[in-house]
Structure 1
Amino acid sequence: MTVPYLNRELSWLEFNQRVLNEALRPDVPLLERLKFLAITASNLDEFFQVRVGGLSLLRRSGRKTSDASGLTPAKNLAAIRSRILEMSAAQYELLNQTLLPELEKAGIRKLRPADLNPAQSAYIAAVFEDAIFSLLTPLAVDADGTCPIVPALQIIIACRLFDPETGKIRHALIPIPEMIGRRVPVTNEENNFDYLLIEDVVALHADQLFPGELVNATTAFRVTRNGDIAVQEEDQTIDLSENMEDVLTARKFAGTVRLELRSNAPRDLARIIQIVTGTTPQDVYRIDGPPGLAAFMDIVAVPGFDHLRDIDWPPQNSPAITPGASMFETIAAGDVLLFHPYESFEPVLRLIEEAAVDPDVIAIKQVLYRTARRSRIVDALIRAAENGKHVTALVELKARFDEARNLTRADELQRAGVQIVYGVKGLKTHAKILLIVRRESGHLRRYLHLGTGNYNESTSRLYTDLSYLTCKADYGNDASLFFNAVTGRSKLIRFQRLVPAPNAMKPKLLDLIAGETERASQGLTARIIAKVNSLQDPDIISALYAASQAGVEIKLNVRGICCLKPGDPKFSKNIEVISVIDRFLEHARLFYFHQGGDSEVYIASADWMIRNLEKRVELMIPIEHAASKRRLIRILDSYFMDNVQASRLLPDGTSQRLTKERGKKAFRVQEHFYQQARKAAKAREHERSMTFEPHVPAD
C-alpha cells in the first residue's frame, strides 16, 4: 500500500520559509530580522550546492525515476525553481521596502556612490587605492565569450569597456576576493554607521583597472556551483586526505547550478555572463538588489546598536557543576545532564582540558566532526599528546564544507603526536563521543561525554543541544568497543547500552515504534514523542503511520525536513507535527517511548533520515538516570506548549504559526528554558553562599 510522502526538497524550502517569516515579523528587533534574512540566504546557498546540484546531475544523466513523493529530477527541479522564485521575491521586497529604510532611520545606512559628498568620495578613493586595487585581478572575456572559470559564491563585476582610440567595445570580469569583505565603512560626522557595498566601490573605480578604456556599464553577479561531489573511496591505494583535496578543487570548477543576476543588468552584460558561467535560463535567478544576501550577517554585529538586537541570554552555570571542583569528581558523584545553550558548554571544555594535564589520565579518544575555528578542544588534545598521553582523534574529513578546516586541524594534531583516523570507509562518522581513560586506585575508570551536538564551543552558544556525562562501567565498555570498531575498521556489534548506526539504531527505533503500536492495538496507553531536525526515512514514516492507525498518540517536533504528511485522516490522524524557530537553532535529537509506563528515553546524534540511519556512524544513547530522564520528558512536553514561536505543519507541507488561545498566557519555550536555567543557577549560587565548607588540613 502506497503511503503519503511529502517531497524532501519542498519540505526543506518550507522550513526556510519559516525562518524568513521571523524576518518578516515587525515585533522582532530590526537587526535580528536582518539576521534571519541573512540565514535564509545562507541556507539557500547550501541548498543549491547540495540538493539542486545533485538533482541537476541526475537530470543531466537522463534519469526519469520518480522519488518517494512521485517527482522525477526534472519535475523536482521545476517545482524547486518555482518556489525559490517566490521566496526570492519576498526576500528582496523585505530588504528594499522594509529593512533598509528602517535601518537607515536607525542610523545604519547603505549608501550609493551618488550619495557621497566630496570628502567621502576622496576617502573611498583612498581606500580603493590602498586596500582594494592590488587585490583585484580582472579577467578578459574573448569575443566568443570564453573566459577563465569564475569563482563560486564570490561577487563578480561584469564590465563593458569602450576604447576611444579604436571605437571597439569589449567585456571583462572583476572577481572580488572574499578577504576584502562585503562592506566598506564611510566616514561621517554623525553617530551613524554608513557603508558602501564592495561591488559599488569596485564599479565606481573600475576604470583604474583598464587604462585607456572607458567603463561605460557594470553589473554585479554571483554563481553557485554543484557541491555534491563525493569522495571516491574504492581505491585502497588512495590517501583520503589527498582525495579530499581533489574534491575541494573539483567544487571550484563544478557546473553552475544558480546565477544570481541583477534585474537591471544591461542586456549585453547579461548575455556575456550567461555564456561565461554556462547557465541555462532555468539556472538564472533575477534579483532586485545585491546578490549574496548572506553577507548582510556582517551588519548584524555592527557595534553601538544593541537596542536593535535581542536582549542577551548568556549561558548559565548548571547546578550540577560545582565551580572549581574537578570534573572527574563531579561525574564520579553522579551522571550529569546539560542542556545547551541555556546551560554552559564550559564543563565539557573543562573536562577535556583537565584530562590533558591530569597525570592520572592515560588515554583520550574523541570523534571530531565540526570544530570551532579556534578550538579549545583541539588545543587540549594537542596538549594531552605533548604531555605523553595516548590520544586518538577520529577526524571526519567528509563533513561537508568543513573539509578544508578539518584537514588543517588533523595535520596540527598529527604533528603533535595525536593518532589520527580519517573516518570510516564508505560512511560519515557523525557520532558525538569523548572517552577519557583514567587510573584511579590501581584500576582504570572510563569517563564519557555523549551528546547531540558538535564539539564546537562557538555553535554551543547558538544551538540547542544535550550533553550527557557519565562514568558508568557499561557505557564505558560500549565506548571502548565503539572506538575499537571505528579505528580498527571492525564490525559495530550490539552494545550493552549504546545503540550505534548504521547496524542497530534503525532496527531499534522500528522495534520501539512497533512496541507502542502493539500496546495501542491491545487498548493500552501508547505514546511517542520525538524531537529531530529532519524526518525523511520511509521505513520510519511507514512505522509511524501504522502506529497512528493503531491509536498511538504521536507528537513530533521537527525543525526542518518532514516528509511525513500530518493530518491525513487515514494514516496520521493521531500525529501532531510542530516546528520551533527562535533565536537558538533547535538541534538536539531526543526520543521518548511510553513502554507501558516504563518509559524509555534516548538522546542521539542522528536524525530520522536514511543518510543518518543507514549511511553514517551515529550513536543513540539511552538515558537511564532517573532525574535526567524526568527532565528530558519535561523538555519534550514543553515544546508542545509553545504558542509564540511554534508552527504546526499542515497536510500540504506548509505550516501555520500557532497563536495563544483567548485567556491563555503566551508561552515561548526557549525563553522558558532560559528562565529555568537562570533561576536554577541563582538558587544554587545562593545555596552555596549559605553553606560553610570546613577546611580540611592536608595529610
Structure 2
Amino acid sequence: MPEYHNRELSWLEFNQRVLDQALKESMPLLERVKFLAISASNLDEFFQVRVGSLMLLRRSGRKTRDNSGYTPFRNLAAIRERVLKMNQDQYDLLNHTLIPALAQKGIVLLSAEQLTDIQRSQTAIIFEDNISPLLTPLAVDPNSPPPIVPALHIVLACRLVDPADKSTRHVLIPIHENLPRRISITTEDETHAFILIEDLIAAHADRLFPGENITATTAFRVTRNGDIAVEEEDATDLADEMEDVLTARRFADTVRLEIRASAPRDLSRMIQNVTASSAQEIYRHDGPLGLSSLMELAFLPDFDHLRDEDWPAQNSPSITPGASMFETIAANDILLFHPYESFDPVIRMIEEAASDPDVIAIKQVLYRTARQSQIIDALIKAAENGKHVTALVELKARFDEARNLTRADELQRAGAQIVYGVKNLKTHAKICLILRRESGRIRRYVHLGTGNYNETTSRLYTDLSYLTCKSEYGNDASLLFNAVTGRSKLLRFQRLIPAPSAMKPLLLDYIAGETERAKQGLPAKIIAKTNSLQDPDIIAALYTASEAGVEIKLNVRGICCLIPGEKFSRNIEVVSVIDRFLEHARLFYFHQGGDPEVLISSADWMTRNLEKRVELMIPIDEKTIKRRLIKILEAYFRDNQNAYHILPDGSSEPITPKRGEKAFRAQEYFYTQAKRVAKAREHERSMTFEPHVPQE
C-alpha cells in the first residue's frame, strides 16, 4: 500500500466537502446555492490547471508515476470517474432540491416554454434591444477550419434548415461574458422570476438568420488548459510575455467539454469536432452549464432571510479609532485575525503612509489584489506625493495576471518602481515595509501576513496579520526586498524565515527536534494549520515523528497526501474545517520542550511553496500573541459542526458531537469572541474621560 495519497483525488475529496455544505438541509437556502456554485468554480480551476497539466504529460507519452503510484493516464481515468460522480451529485441537488425550494421561496427559474404571451413579448424586446446587437454568430463549414470559441463561455449551437432546398447547416453563437447570465422576467406577483440567457437566445435566435429555420439548439461550454508557462529564458519583457500567455490560455487545448445531456446527436458530433474533444473529455449535464454563475443568486437583494446572519468584521481592541497607526504599532505588536477582526487597520497604515510627510518609502509585494484596490490607490497616491514606492507585482499569479498587469502600469505611471517577480520563482510572500523618519533616524514598520492584500477576500478568508516595528523584523524585511529586487541570494535572516532557501530545512529541523524528544520519553507535540499538505519530505518526517510517539494534530483544508490512522501514522490526526469563511491562514506550533515555537506563514506544506516560491514564515515571540495563536489552533480541533476527519482511504467523515458533548463551531466561536472583546473595549473607552486640548 502506498504511503502517499494521490494529490488530485485528495483535492476532489476536498471539493466534495465543499459540496457537502450545499447538501446540508440545515443550511439556509441561498447559502446552499452559494456552496454549490463554489464547488463548480473550484472544478473549473481544477480542470484548467491540474487536468491540463496531466493531459500535456499524457500526450507527451510520459508514463512516470507520481508519489501515489499513478501514471498520467491512470490519474486522468480516476479523475474522470470521481468527477462524473460529483457532477451527478451537483445536478441531483440542483434539479431535485434547490430549484423546487427556490421556487417555493419566490425565486423562479423559467424555461422558454413556461413563458406567458406577455413574457414572450417582453423577452423579444430584451433580445432585440440589449442582446442581439452583441451576438456574433460563427458558421461551421466542414470544408474550412472550425471557429475557435473562447474558454468558459456559454456557446449556443444551432441547426439551421433552408426551406427552399432543405439544406442543413450549423452555426455557433458565443455568449460574451459581459452579458448577464440571468434575465429577470416580470411577473404578476412579487416572485423573482428569471430565464437563463442561453434559453432566451435560443427562443429568439431565428431572428439572426432570415429565411432559415432553426430546428435544434443546445448549449455547450469548453474548458481549456490554463497551465501555460511563461518562457522566462526567452522573455525580454515579462509583461509582454504574460499578455501572450493570457491570449494562449483562452484558445489552448480542450481539457473538458460540457454539453447538455439532451443535445441532438448531430450537434454533439459537430461540437466535438469543433472543440477537438475526445470522448473522455466530454461531460454531459442534465441541467444548466456553468453552475458557478449561480453565485449571483446567492446575493440577490430582498432575500436576506434565506442567507446566514451577517458577521461584520469587528474592531480590534488593539486599534484605537482615530489614533495614528504608527503610534499604535510603536506601542505594541498587533495581531489581527481576519475576517473576524477588520482588515481596515492594514489599509489605514498604508493610506497614512501615503500622506505622512515623515514616511520616506513603501515597499510591498502584491500577489492578488481587489478589483478596486484601496491599497494600490494608496500606493499610487504615495508615489505621486514623492514617496519612494517599490511594488513587487507577481505577474505569474494564475488567473489574476491581467488585473496585475493593468494595476502595475498605473503604479508605474504614477512614479512607482515596479519589479515583476523573480525569475523562475513565484513571489507569494505577504509583506509590506514602511520606512519612516522619527527623531533623526529611520524606523521600519512591517506588516506580515498569511493572506493577500485584497480587501474583498479579507472579508471572506480567514487570515492572520502581524504588525510590528521591532528592529530585527524591519531589518530582515529590508534584506528581503533587496534580495528580491536586486536578484541576490535569499539568506537566513535574524527572524524572518524565507523560502526557498531556509523554510523547508527549518521545518524539518523542528519536526526532527520533536521526534528526538519523543524518543527520549519527553513530551512532544506538533500542531499545524495549512491549506495543503503534499511535500514528500515533510510527510516522511511526520511519519517518523508519529512512529517515535510525537502527538501530531493537522488541520488541512484541501489537499492532504499524508495518510493518517495507519501503523506508521497512528499518532496523526487530520481534520478539515469547511465553513462560511474559507480557511486560509497558515499557523504552526512545535512544543519545543515546553517553550513552544509558534509561527505564521504565507506558505503551505507543498513542494511548490517550499522550493519554488518566495515565501515567508514568521516566528511570533510576543507572549500574549503567542498564547492567542495557540488557542486559535486548538479551537479548530474542538469543532464538531463543520469539521471532518480525513480517513485512511482519503475520504472524509463529518465530526459530530459525542454523547453529552456540546456543539462547538470554531468559526462561530471566533466571531463571538471578537464581537465580545470589541464590545468590552468600546464600553471601556466610553467610560474613559479624555481631557479637551484647546486648539492653538
Out of 466, 470, 473, the residue aligned to residue 471 of structure 2 is: 473
1:691 maps onto 2:671 in alignment: no
**Matches of 1:145 and 1:23, distance apart in 2:** 45
Alignment of 1:32-431 (within 5 A): 32-144=31-143, 146-235=145-234, 238-431=236-429
- Taking a change above 3 Å as real, the CA distance of residues 239 and 586 of structure 1, as seen in their structure-2 partners, is same
1:437–1:447: 8 Å Cα contact kept in structure 2?
Answer: yes
Distance, in Å, in 1 between the alignment partners of 2:144 and 2:664 is 58
CA drift of 1:166 comes to 1.5
Are 1:3 and 1:542, in contact at CA under 8 Å, matched by a contact in 2?
no
Q: CA deviation at 1:678?
A: 0.2
- Unpaired runs of at least 5, structure 2: none
What's the CA shift string for 1:448-500, capped at 9, x where partnerless? 00000000000000000000000000000000000000011111111000000
After the TM superposition, which of the residue ranges 15-24 and 117-126 deviates more from structure 2? Answer: 117-126
Task: Output the CA distance in 1 between the equivalents of 2:190 and 2:161.
Answer: 41
Helix, strand or coil for the counterpart of 1:81? helix
Shift of 1:145: 7.5
Deviation at 1:301, TM superposition (A): 1.0
CA distance in 2, matches of 1:189, 1:431: 55
**Once superposed, what is the RMSD of the aligned Cα atoms?**
0.9
- Inter-partner Cα distance in structure 2 for 1:331 and 1:305: 41
8 Å Cα contact 2:2-2:68 kept in structure 1: no
The percentage of aligned residue pairs carrying the same residue is 72
Q: Alpha-carbon deviation of 1:697?
A: 5.0
Equivalent residue of 2:219, what SS? strand
Q: Find out whether 1:532 has 2:550 as its counterpart.
A: no
Instruction: Give CA-to-partner distance per residue, 1:132-189, whole Å, 9 cap, x none.
Output: 0010000000135842111110000000000001210011100000000111000112
How far, CA to CA, are the matches of 1:25 and 1:145 in structure 2?
A: 50
SS at the partner of 2:160?
Answer: strand
Q: How much has 1:4 moved relative to structure 2?
A: 0.1
**Secondary structure, in 3 states, of the residue corresponding to 1:364?**
strand
Q: Does 1:677 align with 2:677?
A: no
Counterpart AA for 2:22: A
Deviation at 1:211, TM superposition (A): 1.1
Are the aligned partners of 1:161 and 1:169 in contact in 2 as well (CA < 8 Å)? Answer: yes
How far is the alpha carbon of 1:530 from its aligned partner? 0.2
**Paired residue secondary structure (1:26):** coil
Matches of 1:255 and 1:658, distance apart in 2: 41
* Structure-1 residue corresponding to 2:438: 440
Q: Distance in 2 between matches of 1:152 and 1:356?
A: 40
| 8 Å Cα contact 1:145/1:275 also seen in 2 | no
Partner of residue 494, structure 1: 492
Matched, 1:589 2:586: yes
Matched residue SS, 1:178: coil
| Letter in structure 1 aligned against 2:156 | I
Distance, in Å, in 2 between the alignment partners of 1:675 and 1:417 is 44
Aligned-partner SS, 2:600: strand
Bigger mean CA offset, 145-154 vs 32-41: 145-154
Given the alignment, which residue of 652, 655, 658 partners 2:652? 655
- Residue 11 (structure 2) pairs with residue 12 (structure 1): yes
1:571-624 deviation line (CA, Å, top 9, x unaligned): 100000000000000000000000000100000000000000000000000000
Following superposition, the deviation at residue 118 of structure 1 comes to 1.4
In 2, Cα distance between equivalents of 1:116 and 1:167 = 30
Q: Distance in 1 between matches of 2:629 and 2:382?
A: 33
What letter matches 2:296 in structure 1?
Answer: D
Structure 1 residues 314-357: Cα deviation after superposition (integer angstroms, max 9, x where no partner):
00000000000000000000100000000000000000000000
DSSP 3-state at the match of 1:204: helix
Q: Distance in 2 between matches of 1:288 and 1:447?
A: 55
* TM-score (ref. length: structure 1): 0.99
Measure, in 2, the Cα distance between the counterparts of 1:529 and 1:191. Answer: 52
Question: 540, 564, 574: which one pairs with 2:571?
Answer: 574
Q: Give the match for residue 511 of structure 1.
A: 509
Looking at structure 2, the residues matched to 211 and 244 of structure 1 have their Cα atoms a distance apart, in angstroms, of: 42
The answer as to whether partners of 1:452 and 1:465 remain within 8 angstroms in 2 is: yes
Secondary structure in 2 matching 1:371: coil
> Residues of 1 paired with 2:143 and 2:601: CA distance?
55
SS at structure 1 position matched to 2:233: coil
Determine if contact 1:340/1:465 at 8 Å carries over to the other structure.
Answer: yes
Q: Deviations over 1:245-279 (max 9, x none)?
A: 11011111110000001111000000000000000
Q: Which amino acid aligns with 1:685?
A: E
Q: Determine helix, strand or coil for the equivalent of 2:171.
A: strand
CA distance in 2, matches of 1:143, 1:483: 56
Amino acid corresponding to residue 636 of structure 1 in structure 2: L
Structure 1 contact 319–680 (Cα < 8 Å) conserved: yes
Name the aligned partner's letter for residue 679 of structure 1. Answer: R
Greater shift in the superposed pair: 688-697 or 384-393: 688-697
State the secondary structure of the residue aligned to 2:193.
Answer: strand
1:642 maps to a residue whose letter is D
CA contact (8 A) 1:506 1:613 kept: yes
Separation (CA, whole Å) in 1 of partners of 2:281 and 2:624: 54
What amino acid maps onto 1:229 in structure 2? I
Q: Distance in 2 between matches of 1:449 and 1:168?
A: 68
Q: Structure 1 residue 3: deviation in Å?
A: 6.0
**In the TM superposition, what is the alpha-carbon distance from 1:228 to its structure 2 partner?**
0.5
Asked if structure 2 preserves the Cα contact closer than 8 Å seen for 1:143 and 1:170, the reply is no
SS of corresponding position for 2:153: coil
Quick check: 1:628 aligned with 2:593?
no
Deviations 1:16-74 (A, max 9, x none): 00000000000000000000000000000000000000000000000001000000000
Following TM superposition, by how much is the alpha carbon of 1:408 offset from its aligned partner in structure 2, in angstroms?
0.2
SS in 2 for 1:180: coil
Task: Give the secondary structure class of the aligned counterpart of 2:232.
Answer: coil
The 10-residue stretch of structure 1 (673-682 or 687-696) with the greater mean CA deviation from structure 2: 687-696
**So what's the TM-score if we normalise by structure 2?**
0.99
CA distance in 1, matches of 2:394, 2:639: 36
CA contact (8 A) 2:158 2:170 kept: yes
1:513 Cα deviation from its structure 2 partner: 0.4
Once residues 418 and 188 of structure 2 are traced to their aligned partners in structure 1, the CA distance between those partners, rounded to angstroms, is 55
Q: SS of the residue aligned with 1:299?
A: helix
Tell me the distance in 2 between the aligned counterparts of 1:169 and 1:666.
Answer: 64
**Kept in 2: contact 1:501–1:618 (CA 8 A):** yes
Equivalent residue number for residue 615 of structure 1? 612
